[in-house]
Structure 1
Amino acid sequence: MKRIAIGVGENENIIQACHIFKEKHPKTELRLVYSDEDLIKAAFDRNIDAVIRGSLSASNIIAKLKERYPHLSRATYINNGEQEFLLTPVGIDEGNTVEDKFRIALNCIDFLKQVEKTPKIAILAEGREDDFGRDSSVSNSIKDSRKLTKLLSENTDEDVKNYHILIEKAVQDKRNIIIAPNGRVGNIIFRTMVLLNSWPSYGAVTFGMDRVYIDTSRDQSIEGYLRSLVLAEELIED
């Protein structure tokens, strides 16, 4: 029997999602936990196959996980039936250097290959290419995007393209890995797409740890939490 632990905080949509999930997956055991401490314990418990943050707060949980897994990072999986991609970084303290984004991109590549998909990578920056020089922070972001594109092109065999600020073009081109300039920008993109415009998110796949851990927003809908449950079950090895 597969066992999934899931956190219950102030947003009780997660409870409704669990009820719906159990009707369709009666052989999967769900363990509802109500504190950060218990969810962290579940993440380290080898008798638990997968953990979903649910509607518990992220900061304390992620901090504790990073004590054991210092290179932890996340990528949100979005699939609306036509466009399917991993969006990363999405943690507000993640992806602040080219090296960080390079490591996260490699994790995304490995993940897509594990699920038998061909990676197509889009690199984003905080301005168009011809915006270079207008502002120091914009110029630095563009320089970083160039470095990351070059680094991935030289060290992988994947299809990599720098879209600068044109995320709409990257989505239209069906790029399935979208690398934001940093986690703060990635988090805003996630909230705009998923929480404001209702693009279907399955939660964030967590890399850098040898466990199935799905990170979710505290503000997610019943359907959003249900998708995260489905994703977690699919990622558990039989």
Structure 2
Amino acid sequence: MSTRAPRQPQRRRPTRSGVLLSEELITDTALRLIGEHGPEALSVRRLGAALGCDPSALYRYFRNTDDLLLAIADRIIGDAMDGFTPGPDWVASLREMASRVRAGYLAHPRAAAMAAYRVTRRENEIRAVEAGVGLMLSAGFPPPEAVRLYLAFIDTVLSHAALDASCVALPRQQREADQRAWTEAYQAVDPEAFPALTTVRGELRRLGESSFDEAVDLLLAALAARAPGKAART
């Protein structure tokens, strides 16, 4: 069963410019504005200007900007999980979930950094949690442990995905300066004061890379080792 939520019927109202206003259009526009201008773009004034409508019209669809942020977070989840169908190999399915989450966050890095820690309470998130907990149950974990381990899994995935998204969202000059630190500042450390760093000096550039895949592999290997059900491939 796909984790993508079915589209719900929406009221559509024309703006001054003749555009039909809807929850989907508002969410799309908010995502675009955040991607272009950052978190400060999430305001009814800027959204109204971008949509060509009175800002007060937005309150017909969202209670406030926080409600809109939750819709944005749920939209990212829905796009990321679109077409996902859990398979018989629960480890492979969890790995695919993790990869999808990261890809969704990297597609909207500025919005993801704002929304990673929120609980949307909406259909796409509920379907994703259903899929993840279901995979833990299929591995043979009893309900209390299935919930705890799913939380450990998804928190690890979201944390690393948000970290990667935040890095991508940095201005290019800052991102490049951080990358250069591992091949410049860290290469100049005193060998006597920092013997471990001196030993691995040639590998330090790797600390500027994403650890997402490594972290997911380690976590899935640990889960597979603990699973009371039939062992899955890691």
Q: Which TM-score band applies after superposition, normalised by the shorter structure?
A: under 0.3
TM-score, normalised with respect to structure 1? 0.25
Q: Which has the higher contact order (CA 8 A, sep 6+)?
A: 1
The structure with the largest helix share of the pair is: 2
Q: Whose Rg is larger?
A: 2
The structure with the largest strand share of the pair is: 1
TM-score, normalised with respect to structure 2? 0.25
